[in-house]
Amino acid sequence: MKALVYFETLNNEIRDVSLSAIEFAKNFTNEIYGFITNLESAKKYVKKLYVLETENEFPDVIAHEISKVIENEKIEYVLFVSTNKSKEIMSYLTGIINGLMIEDIEAYESNYFIKSIYSNKVYAQFKINYEGIKILGIKPKSFKTPNELEIEGEVIKLKPSKSSSIEIIEIRPKETKEVDLTEADIVVSGGRGLGSAENYHKLLRELIDVLKEKTNLKVALGASQAVVDAGWIDHSHQVGQTGKTVSPLIYFAIGISGAIQHLAGMRTSKYIIAINKDNEAPIFKIADYGLVGDVNTIIPELTQKLKGG
């Protein structure tokens, strides 16, 4: 049995989160192949690596090339990390090969898959009874990152054999050095309780800076929908049902009430720390640690304490 792992890239590097798909693949087979665009560095993790050399990473073209590898290599499992980019490729691929697609898998235990359903309110444990090709996406950070292999995998270079049905008119890069929410070890999220855009950025960014300095971990800025709707920050920072799903080691919910749609995007975080002046705020029901009080007092104090002051 063979598995093919799709390695997602960002700014000419393999995204850390996509490496964990290797660890997931080991549940099914040791015959693990890889597929990536442009980079050869992923050969450290697989026996054979297909490298598609392409300037534009069109999801339909990538899916088409993956489908050819599946056919040639008789692949049974195709594994992704469920990011927005990979989900697009998974959808195209499912259409092309008529496979079975499941996204956002969080665990695999004793031949059962586990994922959250109904806006993360319950866990579903399920089996797959499907003989055809299985296209599976794991939730970012649900599985650990693998060690590099001692051998270097064989590299097979490909050129796109079809052109995309999408035509790009213009690409405008965003000026950002911020850590992507789904990659972060710590997410510091703020809600309406911060009162203003100025306060949101000042208090949270100071806390983020000190957390980065003291922990050396990846720390990202998150937001509730109320904050995004108010225009304090753009939608790429929104956590929740209509934003991103995150599962960091630590999630700070600061001035966030804990509406069900927000919880849908963060309740699988390892440790949740909530700060809210209302001791009945729903966020405290799922928080591991709670601080009841005014964010304007607590956050500067916390930042100062972490600085060692």
Closest distance between ligand FAD and the C-beta of residue 265, in Å?
A: 6
Which of residues 79, 276, 302, 303 is near ligand FAD by CB under 6 A?
A: 276
Residue 120 within binding range of ligand FAD, rule CB under 6 A: no
Residue 54 within binding range of ligand FAD, rule CB under 6 A: no
| Residue placing its CB nearer to ligand FAD in the complex, 61 or 264 | 264
Residue 262 within binding range of ligand FAD, rule CB under 6 A: yes
Instruction: Give the integer Cα–Cα distance in Å for 173 and 43.
Output: 29
Q: Are 303 and 210 in contact (CB under 8 A)?
A: yes
Which of residues 44, 192, 237, 267 is near ligand FAD by CB under 6 A?
A: 192
Q: Which stretch binds ligand FAD (CB under 6 A): 24-32, 56-64, 77-85, 223-231?
A: 223-231
Residue 287 within binding range of ligand FAD, rule CB under 6 A: no
Closest distance between ligand FAD and the C-beta of residue 212, in Å?
A: 23
The backbone torsions φ and ψ at residue 75, rounded to the nearest 5 degrees and listed phi first, read -80, 140
Residue 256 within binding range of ligand FAD, rule CB under 6 A: yes
Closest distance between ligand FAD and the C-beta of residue 85, in Å?
A: 19
Q: At what angle do helices 197-215 and 295-307 cross, to 10 degrees?
A: 20
Which of residues 198, 234, 294, 301 is near ligand FAD by CB under 6 A?
A: 294
Which of residues 148, 278, 288, 301 is near ligand FAD by CB under 6 A?
A: 278
| Residue placing its CB nearer to ligand FAD in the complex, 48 or 192 | 192
Residue 116 within binding range of ligand FAD, rule CB under 6 A: no
Q: Closest Cα to residue 22, out of 51, 52, 43, 53?
A: 43
Residue 86 within binding range of ligand FAD, rule CB under 6 A: no
Cβ contacts of residue 18 below 8 Å, gap of 6+? 5, 6, 7, 8, 80, 81, 83, 86
The DSSP bridge partners found for residue 154 are 48
Instruction: Give the integer Cα–Cα distance in Å for 132 and 134.
Output: 6
In the sheet that 31-37 helps form, which strands lie side by side, from edge to edge?
Answer: 100-105, 134-138, 77-81, 2-6, 31-37, 48-52, 154-158
Residue 240 within binding range of ligand FAD, rule CB under 6 A: yes
Residue 267 within binding range of ligand FAD, rule CB under 6 A: no
Closest distance between ligand FAD and the C-beta of residue 257, in Å?
A: 3
Closest distance between ligand FAD and the C-beta of residue 198, in Å?
A: 14
Instruction: Give the integer Cα–Cα distance in Å for 124 and 217.
Output: 31
Give the Å distances, CA to CA, from 142 to 113, 158, 171, 182, 207: 12, 31, 32, 11, 26
Which of residues 86, 116, 238, 303 is near ligand FAD by CB under 6 A?
A: 238
Q: Which spans of this chain sit near ligand FAD (rule: CB under 6 A)?
A: 191-193, 224-227, 238-243, 255-257, 259, 261-262, 265, 276-278, 281, 294-296
